[in-house]
Chain A
């Protein structure tokens, strides 16, 4: 695991806000947040977030690094962009939440492994980087079984009907996974991107 923020794995980090302003995508605009609540009020699943974006942003300012990176708010964002289009300060809330989620993964917080959306994101990425495409069947399987074999079978059985309907309407297929043409090139691009990212992180 690479240390990304200046003082990783700290409960409080008084430099955290500055770090977010300077390193998180859209973080510079977060400095303009006036705590009006439009984001949390616009969120279709706002009542399923422990803090919601507005409070999370205040917690960042207060240096509550651990609480921020272990919150479910960063994982529950569904990227509907309601908050982004309505924010009177034009803060790209969605980008910020996603970047914070990535940071939580990098810093190895347990919540970043156990959160439902973290598991799903992992399965999605596994397929995307392997084939350049998401394979509905394998992504779903990988996600279902991420919580254990028994649990995976249970979830699979419960959703059998949906799966069959998807196969019937050709939304899901049972043959070899579809691939992009140049998977080798894709992987080279991803490796390079990873390298650049690491270089950026270490350069700070």
Chain B
């Protein structure tokens, strides 16, 4: 339908994390057609990979499940998974997106029974658990995947194992011949909700992340604490499989640092406090040391901080560690200066968790069009002609509730853009 010279009123949302889902739902529930494009086989983004989320420590599956129900009920939303945008042409009201679909090799008739996985022998690194464990080459992305549909990994395509996997499916849902395909999509506005990736801890050379299994990142800690993670939710020292007695949480690992990410990711202080809470919940005797430059628990999150402050087994050390080195017998030593006492410390820990920051997804691959970005690669919330916007962490480092606010704002802006309404 043409409307005031706009050839399309569809809103394209790129990225199906909590932000993209929110934008899509808000716009669709206001009566607009939405196409949601997600690169991975399931919606949910990084939130699905959290064990629980602050401030209330509820399970992310709960919030996501409600949203999935809303998507299922809404005929205006069309979801594509394993979809990326290869090219964008046109301008506000008249964009043409070239969407590329990677083969999933599993059709919609899949019932997620798991017979294919049972037939598979090859294993692949599990991206959902940040490669901490392995998956069968026919797999469900995770327990709460949406859509609830298996994926066959490219490694077994064209092999006898692939044929066995196909034969195991009672519903004939496996299509080994599926090829990459693409289609054109008309849209009046595009919302980039492409989110973030954890900063590569290996680049912080003095912290020797790659040299000790007991030095992990905060995103890995989320998986170690999750019931569907590699340790079934028991936080164990990776090198020994024993419960850790002393754990160091390192704030600003590669953040607020001109050599790495110059900005503050805003959520890591709370994320680490949450990790302290996970540990204290699991082990009565564990000691947790939080190394920080300064604690940033903004507005309502201050209460979480205050509560944890009262725990005598959580120590707060005002210091950015200068180095973390694998000591004798591989025990990581955290070294630096305590800036309140001027003590030079060299403290051994069973486990060290690096609170790495959120780097915009654009760092791994530029968007398919020239979207306006800031110096760090975050996409500015509003493009020049009013037809492009960003939502959630694609626009800046935000927690979930701030992401949802930003996504709702983006939905409204997108509606204004496709309905041709002037904005002040």
Chain A residues within 8 Å of B, Cβ to Cβ: 34-42, 46-47, 51-52, 54-55, 82, 85-86, 88-90
Contact = CB atoms under 8 A, between A and B. Distances in A.
B211 interface: no
A26 to B, nearest CB: 14
B337 interface: yes
Contacts of B321: 38, 41
Contacts of B257: 88
27 contacts: A34-B256, A36-B252, A36-B293, A36-B320, A37-B318, A37-B320, A37-B336, A37-B337, A37-B339, A38-B336, A40-B322, A40-B339, A40-B342, A40-B344, A41-B321, A41-B322, A41-B336, A52-B337, A55-B339, A82-B322, A86-B206, A86-B259, A86-B322, A88-B256, A88-B257, A88-B260, A90-B258
B250 to A, nearest CB: 12
Contact of A54 (B259, B260, B335, B337): B337
A52 B339 CA distance: 10
Contacts, number: 66
Given A86-B322, A88-B258, A88-B320, A54 B339 contact: yes
B72 to A, nearest CB: 46
Given A36-B319, A52-B342, A41 B258 contact: no
Nearest to B343: A47
Contact of A90 (B259, B319, B339, B344): B259
Max chain A C-beta neighbours (<10 A), residue from B206, B293, B320, B338? B320
B323 interface: yes
Contact of A37 (B256, B259, B322): B322
Interface of A is mostly: helix
A42 B258 contact: no
A38 B334 CA distance: 12
A89 B258 contact: yes
Interface of B is mostly: loop
A43 B336 CA distance: 9
A35 B256 contact: no
Given A36-B293, A36-B319, A37-B336, A46 B259 contact: no
Q: Chain B interface: which size bin?
A: 20 to 34
B248 to A, nearest CB: 14
Contacts of B256: 34, 88
A149 B78 CA distance: 91
Max chain B C-beta neighbours (<10 A), residue from A35, A36, A39, A52? A36
A41 B317 CA distance: 13
Interface in B305-334: 318-323
Nearest to B292: A36
A105 B338 CA distance: 31
Contacts of B342: 40, 51-52, 55
Given A88-B256, A89-B258, A37 B323 contact: no
A42 B319 CA distance: 12
A29 B113 CA distance: 61
Contacts of A47: 344
Contacts of A39: 322
A72 B205 CA distance: 30
A44 to B, nearest CB: 11
Given A41-B319, A88-B256, A46 B293 contact: no
